[in-house]
Amino acid sequence: MKKILTIIALFVAMSATAQKVRFDIKFISEESGVSKVLVQPLNINEESKTIVMREKEGHFVGTVQASKIGFYNLVIVRNQSQLLVPIYVTDAKNVSLDVKIDGKAYFVENSADNRALTILGAKLNELDRSLWLQEGMSGDQMKELMLGYEKALDSAKEVQGVSKPVVEYMNVMAYVRAFNAYKSIPRAQGISMTSIPFSRNDVLPLPGEVLDNDYTSLFFAGLQIIKDELPSLPSLLDRLANLYAAYGNNALRTSVAISIMKEYITNYNYSNDFEGGLAIVKRATEKYGLPAVFVDEFMKRKSTVPGAPFPEGVKLVDVNGKAVDFSQFKGKYVYIDMWASWCGPCCKEVPHLQQLEKELNNDNVVFVSVSSDKDEQAWRNKMVELKMHGHQLLDIDNTLGDALNVKGIPFFVIYDKDGNLHTYGALRPSTGTRLRSMLEGLK
C-alpha cells in the first residue's frame, strides 16, 4: 500500500510539474502592427523558457509551461519596438486574452488583476517617456513627475477585486521603475546628480521597505537595486552577511546572494590566491545554502592561472566539423585569438593578425583562431569575407571562454610548448611590433 501511495504521489508531482497553459491572444485595434508575441512564465528563483506564439487567423496562439505563481510576461513586438506587458493567470489551462491597443499603451481586460497590471504599466511607461522627452524640466516638475509613480500605483490599486499577489507585484513594479527613473534624471535632463533639488528619500521610501518580498526576485532591476544599496564591502562573506541581516525574505536573499556570487566569480583575480578564494566560496555556499555549482564554477577558473593546463571539457571543431584535440599543438607556443563574426573589434584585428603571421620569424609559434559563434554559417561567411586561413576552430557552446573567464572579446591567450597557460590576456595583434617582438622571443 505504501508503495502504491508513493507512486501516486510521484505521478501527481510529475503532472503538476508538466502542467501547460495554452494562450490565445488577440489584439483589438484597426491596425495593430504587432509582428511577434512571446510569452514568458515567471517563477521565483527558477529560469523559465520564453515561447514564441504562432500567428493564426489574426490571433497569436501557443502553449507554455505553467507559472507556479501565476505571473507571465507578454513580450510584444510592434512597429520595430518591444514592450513587456505583465499578466496574472491562475488555475487555467486555456487562456484567451483580448489586448486593447490605445496609442502606445496595452490593456488586458479579462480580469481585475490584468486590468490593474496593464493600467499601471501604461501609466509608468507614460511617466518614463515624459522624463526623457520633456526637456528643461524645473525642479518642481521633476519632483511632481517622480511622485507620479506612486500616484500611478494608487490608481491601479483602485480597480475593484485586485488580488493580494498582484498588489504586492505592483508595489515592486512601480518602485523599481521609479527608482530607475530617479537615477536617470541626470542623463534624461542633461544635469548632474547634485543638481537635482530633492533627494531620493524625498520621493521614494527606502528599498527595504518595499522590496523585501518574493516578487522582487522576478525583477532583475530590483535585485540590482538591492545589490547597489548594500555597503561596499571588499569581503564576499561580509557582503552576504550584510544582505542577510538587512532583508528577511528568503527567496529574495537567495536571488541577491546568487547574483553577488556570480559577480564575485566573474571578477575574482584567480592568479592571486586561488586557494584562498576557493575557500571563501565554499564557506559562503555552506553557510547560506547556495548552489554547490558555484564551487565547481570557481574551480573551472583555475585555467586562468599561468601554468595551468589547457582546460578539460573544451569542445572545438574545425571547418570540416571534425573534433580538435588541443594536445596536437604540443611542442609549439600557441597564440589564440578568441573572436566571433558579430564582434566588430574582433574583425578589425584579423588583418593585423594575418600580417603578424606573415612577418613573424619564429617557427615555434602557431596561431589559432577560436570563434564563439552560435551561428555556424555566420562564422563560415565571415571567414570567407575576411579571407581567414590557418587553424580556424569553432566553440559553439563557448566552453573555452567560460573556462578562461573571458568577459569580452576579442581576447588573446598564449599556451606554452607543454600545453600550459603562458600568458593570460596577451597583447592584441594591432599592437604591432610589441607583440611580434615578444613572440619572436619565445624559444
The domain boundary, picked from 284, 304, 324, lies at 304
Residue 46, Cβ neighbours under 10 Å: how many?
A: 11
CATH number at residue 329: 3.40.30.10
**In the numeric block, which cell numbers belong to residue 181?**
527613473
pTM greater than the 0.95 cutoff: no
Residue 164 CA to residue 125 CA, distance in Å, equals 23
Give yes or no: residues 324 and 274 share one domain.
no
pLDDT value of residue 31: 76
Amino acid present at 275? E
Quick one: average pLDDT of 265-291? 92
Inform me whether the pLDDT recorded for 300 exceeds 90. Answer: no
Sign, CA dihedral 171-172-175-177, equals negative
Residue 135 CA to residue 184 CA, distance in Å, equals 13
pLDDT value of residue 18: 57
Q: Give the number of domains in the chain.
A: 3
Quick one: average pLDDT of 271-281? 92
| pLDDT tens column, 343-401 | 999 999 999 999 999 999 999 999 999 999 999 999 999 999 999 999 999 998 899 99
Supply the DSSP symbol for 193. Answer: G
**In the numeric block, which cell numbers belong to residue 385?**
569575407
The per-residue pLDDT of the chain, averaged, comes to 92
Chain centroid offset of residue 69 CA: 22
Residue 285 CA to residue 234 CA, distance in Å, equals 18
Asked if the structure places residue 288 within a domain, the reply is yes
The domain boundary, picked from 55, 83, 110, lies at 110
pLDDT value of residue 62: 96
Inform me whether the pLDDT recorded for 8 exceeds 80. Answer: no
* % of the chain exceeding 70 in pLDDT: 96
Residue 101 CA to residue 76 CA, distance in Å, equals 11
Asked if the structure places residue 33 within a domain, the reply is yes
Q: Distance of CA 232 to CAs 13, 206, 213, 239, 271, Å? A: 43, 17, 23, 8, 23
Q: Note whether 294 and 374 are within 8 A (CB).
A: no
- Provide the domain limits for residue 296: 230-304
**In the numeric block, which cell numbers belong to residue 148?**
507620479
The residues pairing with 39 across neighbouring beta strands, listed in sequence order, are 51, 74
Question: Checking phi first, is residue 324 left (phi over 0); if not, alpha (psi -120 to 50) or beta?
Answer: beta
The domain boundary, picked from 110, 135, 166, lies at 110
